[in-house]
Amino acid sequence: MRVFVIAGEPSGDKLGAALMAGLRELAPDTRFTGVGGEGMAAQGLTSLFPMSDLSVMGLAEVLPRLRLLRRRIRETAAAIAEAKPDLVVTIDSPDFCLRVLRAARAARPDLPVVHYVAPSVWAWRPGRARKMAPLVDHVLALLPFEPPYMEAAGMSCDFVGHPVVSEPRATESEIAALRARITGPIWLALPGSRGGEIARHAPRFGAGLAQVLPEGACVLVPTVRACAEQMRAEVARWPFPARVLDDPGDKRAAFAGAEMAIAASGTVSLELAASQTPMVIAYDLNPLTRWLAERLIRLDTVTLVNLVCESRAIPECLGRNCTPERIAASLQVLRDSAAARVAQRQAMALAMTRLGQGGEAPGLRAAASVLRFMERHAR
C-alpha cells in the first residue's frame, strides 16, 4: 500500500511516526511519501520540504508567510498527483491540509482520505466538520467524545486513543543522569513549540516565575531542537538562571522529576499529566487572533485534562489574563496547597485512563482503523 502522509507541526509528526510504525507492523509492504518532521523521518519518510514551513498558527502569524504556504500547497498537491497513492493521510493542520486535499480531490475525486485528529468542533467553529466532510472519508479521533460529531457530519470516525499514553517514560538512568547535574527542586517552563508562542510566552513565564520560585530551585526549559536557539535567546533574558534542554531523554527525566510546571496550552499538558506533574496552563495569541478567538470559542477551559475529566483542576491564565502577575498567583496557590496538587493528580490519572492508558498503543489502533477503512473502501 502506498500512503501519502502530511504533518505540519511537532505534535502531528509524533502522531505520524506512531501511525507509520503501526502500519508497518500490520501491513509490512506499506510505503510512505509526504511531509513530516524528525519522528516521521526516523520511520523512513523523506519530507518534500521542512515541516517547519507549515508550523504557524493564527491569522497574524500566517499572513507574512502566505506566499510560502501557497507554494507549499501547490507543491504538495502536485506530489500527490505524481505519487498516485492508494491513500492520503492528513494529520491535524487543517487549514493547510484541507487546501491540499481540495486540489488533490479535484484531480482525483475517488482518492481515499483519512484525517488524523478531529477538528475541535465542540470548542469552536462547529461548521468545520461539515466543510471537511466532502474532502475526508474517515477520521481518527484522539478524544473519546469526538466520534459522534464527525459521524453527524457524514464521515466515519474511530476513537484511537491519545499517543501520550504510550510514549516512553524516563528510565532510572536518565533521571539519575539529570539529577547528577542539578541540585535543588526542579520547576519546568514550557512556553510552546512554535516561534510565535515562544516569543509571546517566554518573557511572561520568566517574569511570573521570578515572583514565586523557591530558593535553590532549578528551572528547566525542555524544547525541540528546531526551537532550541530561539528558546535559549529568550531564556537568557530571564532574571534567574535556567537551562534549556533539547535532548528527548533529558526532557523525559525533567518531566519525571519536576515539582511544578508552567506550560503553554496544548499536548504538553497531557505529557505533564502522564508524569503526574502539577501545572498551570498559560496561553495568549496575537491580539488580532485573540480578538477572533474570544468571539468563537465556546468553552470555559482549553486544557485537555480538564476537558477529558470534565473537571477544572488545572488552573489557566488565558488571553488577557496571561500576565506575569496572574501566572505568579496561580503558581503560588499550587505551590502552597497540597490539596490542589492532589486534585490535579487525581484528574490526571482519570484523563490517562480515558485516553486509553493500559490498552493497545494508539499508533497501532490508528493503523488498524486505517486498514479497516481501506477494506470498506475497497468493497
Task: Tell me which of 34-48, 49-63, 227-241, 253-267 is least confident.
Answer: 49-63
- The residue behind cell 502522564 is 274
Q: What is the pLDDT of residues 232-287, one digit of tens each?
A: 999 999 999 999 999 888 999 999 999 999 999 888 999 999 999 999 999 998 77
pLDDT at 121 over 80: no
Residue 269 · residue 311 · CB < 8 Å:
no
Q: Could you give phi then psi for residue 70, rounded to 5 degrees?
A: -65, -40
pLDDT at 224 over 90: no
Which CATH number is 172-354 given?
A: 3.40.50.2000
The per-residue pLDDT of the chain, averaged, comes to: 91
Q: Output the 3-class SS for 147-170.
A: HHHHHHCCCEEEECCCHHHHCCCC
DSSP strand E in the chain: where? 2-7, 31-35, 87-91, 113-116, 138-141, 156-159, 186-190, 218-222, 242-245, 258-263, 279-283, 316-318
Tell me how far apart the alpha carbons of residues 47 and 50 are, in angstroms, rounded to a whole number.
7
**Residue 373 parent element (H or E):** helix 362-378
pLDDT at residue number 166: 87
Between residues 168 and 22, which one has the greater pLDDT?
Answer: 22
Cell of 346: 487525581
The mean pLDDT value for 12-22 works out to 94
pLDDT at 63 over 70: no
Topology adopted by domain 2-161+359-378: Rossmann fold (3.40.50)
Residue 209 DSSP SS3: helix
35 pLDDT band (50/70/90 cuts)?
Answer: very high
Q: What is the pLDDT of residues 299-330, one digit of tens each?
A: 778 898 999 998 899 999 999 999 999 999 99
Q: What is the pLDDT of residues 85-101, one digit of tens each?
A: 999 999 988 889 999 99
Rounded (10°) CA dihedral 248, 250, 256, 260: -110
pLDDT at 57 over 60: no
Residue 16 · residue 40 · CB < 8 Å:
yes
10-26 and 362-378 helices, crossing angle to 10° = 60
205 pLDDT band (50/70/90 cuts)?
Answer: very high
Q: Is the dihedral of CA 258, 308, 19, 82 positive or negative?
A: negative
Most confident of the ranges 225-229, 292-296, 299-303: 225-229
Q: Cite the residue boundaries of each domain of the chain with CATH code 3.40.50.2000.
A: 2-161+359-378, 172-354
The mean pLDDT value for 52-65 works out to 63
- Beta strand pairing status for 31-35 and 218-222? unpaired
18 pLDDT band (50/70/90 cuts)?
Answer: very high
Q: What is the pLDDT of residues 66-92, one digit of tens each?
A: 788 899 999 999 999 999 999 999 998
Q: What is the pLDDT of residues 127-183, one digit of tens each?
A: 788 889 999 999 999 999 899 999 999 999 999 999 889 888 888 888 888 888 888
**First vs last Cα of the chain: how many Å apart?**
16
